[in-house]
Amino acid sequence: MSQEKSLLNKLVFSLQCLPGVGRKSAQRMAYHLLDKDREGALRLANDLKSAMDEIGNCERCRDYTEASLCEICRNEKRNEQTLCVVESPADVAAIESTGSYTGKYFVLMGNLSPLDGIGPDEIGLNQLKTLVEQTDCQEIIVATSATVEGEATAHFISTIVQGVKDKQVSVSRLAQGVPIGGELEYLDSSTLALSLANRQSI
């Protein structure tokens, strides 16, 4: 590539930090922005900078926020007695989008993974324990993924929470079974077996 195009080359290289964007897509993005949307690109540059500089983690629930406490933690209308433990801020957004949860959250920012050096401290389990001890928390909903790591993390959290002294906290897990609109024919056999075992009377 030519030396003179270095600014363009740098931009194409930098765009590849986006997930799912390779050299070819990055080139297409760079040409598109230069050609059709310089204003949008400048706004993006600005928003990227302020987001990266200012967004940190909520002191209480570890979700992303630019304040010291996120809006959900500061909202007094939300039920303090239920705490939903999720893996990532994206999961908070997913549960919020259902509009059917009014409790608070705790974001692990990952899963237990001892081989990768991610232990209870890295996913803030001490902080979670303190939170359970110091607040009026009555129920923990562990909404980690239905993967091996997610299940292991859920089990570990359940042990920790039930070990809190002088307090009876119930721990639950998201229901598993056939998704709405799911056709049995295409469902994996483990999920189907599980939904048979956990059948509900109607």
Q: Binder to its own copies among 79, 93, 130, 182 (CB under 8 A)? A: 93
Based on the shown chain and the rule CB under 8 A, indicate whether residue 68 belongs to the binding site for its own copies.
no
Nearer to its own copies, 91 or 128 (CB): 91
- Kindly state whether residue 127 participates in binding its own copies, applying the rule CB under 8 A: no
Q: Does 59 bind its own copies (CB under 8 A)?
A: no
Angle between helical axes of 23-36 and 6-15 (0-180°, round to 10): 120
Neighbours of 143 (CB within 10 A): 20
Q: How far is the CB of 51 from its own copies (least distance, A)?
A: 4
Question: Smallest distance from the beta carbon of 161 to its own copies, in angstroms?
Answer: 25
CB 162 within 8 A of CB 171: yes
Give, in degrees to the nearest 5, the angle at Cα 113 between 158 and 53. 100
SS3 139: strand
The DSSP bridge pattern shows strands 64-65 and 56-57 to be antiparallel
Q: Does 88 bind its own copies (CB under 8 A)?
A: yes
The reply to whether 100 sits near its own copies by the rule CB under 8 A is no
111 makes contact with its own copies (CB under 8 A): no
Residue 117 interacts with its own copies (CB under 8 A)? no
| Single-letter amino acid, residue 115 | L
Token output for 29: 């993005």
Binders of its own copies in range 35-54 (CB under 8 A) = 35, 37-38, 40-54
What is the Cα–Cα distance from 137 to 130, expressed in whole angstroms? 11
Q: Which of 22, 59, 67, 148 binds its own copies (CB under 8 A)?
A: 67
Rule CB under 8 A: is residue 102 a binding residue for its own copies?
A: no
Beta carbon of residue 95, minimum distance to its own copies (angstroms, whole number): 13
Q: Give least dist CB 18 to its own copies, A.
A: 5
Rounded (to 5) percent helix, strand, coil in the chain: 50, 15, 40
Contacts of 147 (CB under 8 A, 6+ apart): 111
Total residues contacting its own copies by CB under 8 A comes to 59
Q: What angle do CA 35, 37, 40 make, to 5 degrees?
A: 150
Binding interface with its own copies (CB under 8 A): 1-8, 10-11, 13-15, 17-20, 25, 27-35, 37-38, 40-55, 64-67, 70-72, 74, 88-90, 93, 96, 109
